[in-house]
Structure 1
Amino acid sequence: MSEYETRLRHQLMFGPASVVAQGIIADAFESYLTKATLPCAADILRIGKLNAQIGHLSLREPKQAWEKFRLANLPDHAPAGQDRYRAVFQAAINVHHELHDLPPFKIKAIPFDNERVRFLTKGDRDRLISAYAPHVRPIITMLAFHGPRIQTALQMPWGVKGVDMQQEVIRLNHTKNAMTQSVPMHPRVKEVLSPIWEEQGNPLKGYVFLNRFGQPYQDTRLARIPGGNPLKSQHKTACKRAEIDDFTIHDWRHHWASHCVMAGIDLITIMHMGGWKSLRMVQRYASVGVDHMLTAINKID
């Protein structure tokens, strides 16, 4: 009764802040996981790891809790990987704060180089696509002409929730940012997908892309340690055959966005089609358009 009386007194004196101050970080994770829109599977795994290590700590000092977790668990992680943990931790605290009418909480982002822009000429693009194994070429064609993340492409289904051959539309499920975007199918993509669709009997469900054993690709986002690329070895071999250097499989996404800019597509449209959450993420491609125009203007005698 004495403890309960003290808790009531704090609530009367300090309002919602007292409720949060008396809670633990696990309460914030619970709030985050019960909101209307669930985070992606990889972030759910990150929350599980965070909760196991610091869920018992008080919500009074979330920054200290974060530092304790980071120093104990993330010293070998790349800065980008560390920042993903930071972002999901901050999001969980803020959902809990919002439920109790408290101001937003912020942890300084971990800096990392995310400004890489690498693209191929159209000739190099086609030469590299041709260098892949036959069962991989349709996947790479989709990466080159629609720019999804690799796992977004590999887990794509037939039908209205993915590749709709009847309407010639692709519904891209950008799981990382909880966004879904329908885009018209590029003719080159339709050209490589039509034979696959017909061979499978014009299906309206099931996976579009299968590995060389005829099985769906593993969704590495659901793995115990998120990440990994099932096409890594095929990509390395194809680059060697095509004599293309310094081009990762994720660079197909940069290639697509860069060629969109060079084709005159505005950044807002690129942001929506590519599933980026903010315009800031695509502004790095703006300079590509300037360089392209400079090359074009220098051709004038």
Structure 2
Amino acid sequence: MLSIRRRGKNGIYYIRGSVALGDKRIKVKEFSSGTSDADAASHLMAEYETKLRHQLMFGPAALIAQGTIADAFDSYLSKAKPPCPSDILRIGKLNERIGELSLQEPKQAWEQFRRAYLNDHAPAGQDRYRSVFQAAINTYRELHDLPPLRIKGIPFDNERVRFLTKEDRDRLLAAYAPHVQPIITMLAFHGPRIQTALQMPWGVYGVDMHRESIRLNHTKNAVIQSVPMHHRVKAALLPIWEQRGRPMKGHVFLNRLGEPYKDTRLASVPGGNPLKNQHKTACKRAGIEDFTIHDWRHHWASHCVMAGIDLITIMHMGGWKSLRMVQRYSTVGVDHMRESINKLD
């Protein structure tokens, strides 16, 4: 039997005990009812006991039948390690449209959301929604001792590798507006994602001019990596640091109005690039075609390979979570070696 007990100065009722059916029993660790109202706490206890008896009778799948997709999102957001801000926004969109649907048919719920809301999204963007939806469903299933569910991924071409020659790199760097050049220099020689760079602070948690190191907070994959500062990046940042009085906090990069860049990962619609127009103008000035601002990340990784840096080190420095994500750059090394060997007489 379950019982309630009043605790604390606020008189909150707590529930504990066990529920049995035949030779089956579920022990319930004490948890808060969240209320000091005896009737409300008793009602909650009765509902919970009914749910547990239903589980004893029909197995863990019974809880899935009773639950909603919103319950899965609650379980996922309650984890000790919360998802990144962009994924929290995606969960909000998902919850708003399909949160009330039953957990019995999550694949059908996902397809309903995808068709109604994601038609105009790029495949990679759709797959990020799918990924966080699947993670939430499986968090809930794991809590109830059910096997994980796999929702088919959205196919997209993620094999693009685009890089510049050193001459083209320097010409393009020089073509940017002066306040943008230091940002792009960091992209070219350290390879962070654009928002990782734009939100970087001064000091030990970001750009540490004293130690000549950069702490890259790869928020997308929850990876934090401290790396030595490239001499070109130091040359670009040192005058800014000196001019601002050698700060140990605050944003490193400011826009043309002298204000920090907005973190578009926290916007109501994730994504967006505040440097898109400046990049487009710089490419036109430098005569560079088919080179997006994200391609600076490909450029950095490709030149790391050509410089002989191993893929494991590139993976750690670039904040990728798996070696599979950087294996696309391995062919760059092969092509570079072929080009070099052909120069021999």
Which TM-score tier does this pair reach, normalised by the shorter chain? over 0.9
Name 1:29's counterpart in structure 2: 73
Q: Which secondary structure state, in structure 1, belongs to the residue aligned with residue 91 of structure 2?
A: helix
2:91 to 17, 40, 47: 47
Name 1:181's counterpart in structure 2: 225
- Whichever of the two has the greater Rg, that structure is 2
Matches within 5 A, 1:24-173: 24-173=68-217
Name 1:210's counterpart in structure 2: 254
1:3/1:132 Cα in 2 relative to 1: closer, same or farther (>3 Å)?
Answer: closer
CA drift of 1:18 comes to: 2.1
Which amino acid in the other structure matches residue 46 of structure 1?
A: R
**Distance in 2, Cα, partners of 1:114 & 1:10:** 46
- Higher helix content, 1 or 2: 1
**Distance in 1, Cα, partners of 2:309 & 2:106:** 42
Percent identity of equivalent pairs: 80
Q: Which secondary structure state, in structure 1, belongs to the residue aligned with residue 227 of structure 2?
A: strand
CA deviations on 1:213-243 (whole Å, 9 max, x unpaired) are: 1111111111111111111111111111111
**Distance in 1, Cα, partners of 2:93 & 2:330:** 38
Name 1:260's counterpart in structure 2: 304
CA drift of 1:14 comes to: 3.7
Which amino acid in the other structure matches residue 134 of structure 1?
A: P
CA deviations on 1:131-172 (whole Å, 9 max, x unpaired) are: 111111100000000000011100100011111111111111
**Distance in 1, Cα, partners of 2:243 & 2:277:** 27
Q: Which secondary structure state, in structure 2, belongs to the residue aligned with residue 290 of structure 1?
A: helix
Q: Which secondary structure state, in structure 2, belongs to the residue aligned with residue 36 of structure 1?
A: coil
How many residue pairs get aligned? The number is 301
Q: Which secondary structure state, in structure 1, belongs to the residue aligned with residue 226 of structure 2?
A: strand
CA RMSD of aligned residues (A): 1.6
**Distance in 2, Cα, partners of 1:246 & 1:183:** 30
- Higher strand content, 1 or 2: 2
CA drift of 1:176 comes to: 0.9
In structure 1, the gaps of 5 or more residues are: none
Matches within 5 A, 1:205-284: 205-284=249-328
CA deviations on 1:257-281 (whole Å, 9 max, x unpaired) are: 0001111111111111101111111
In structure 2, the gaps of 5 or more residues are: 1-42
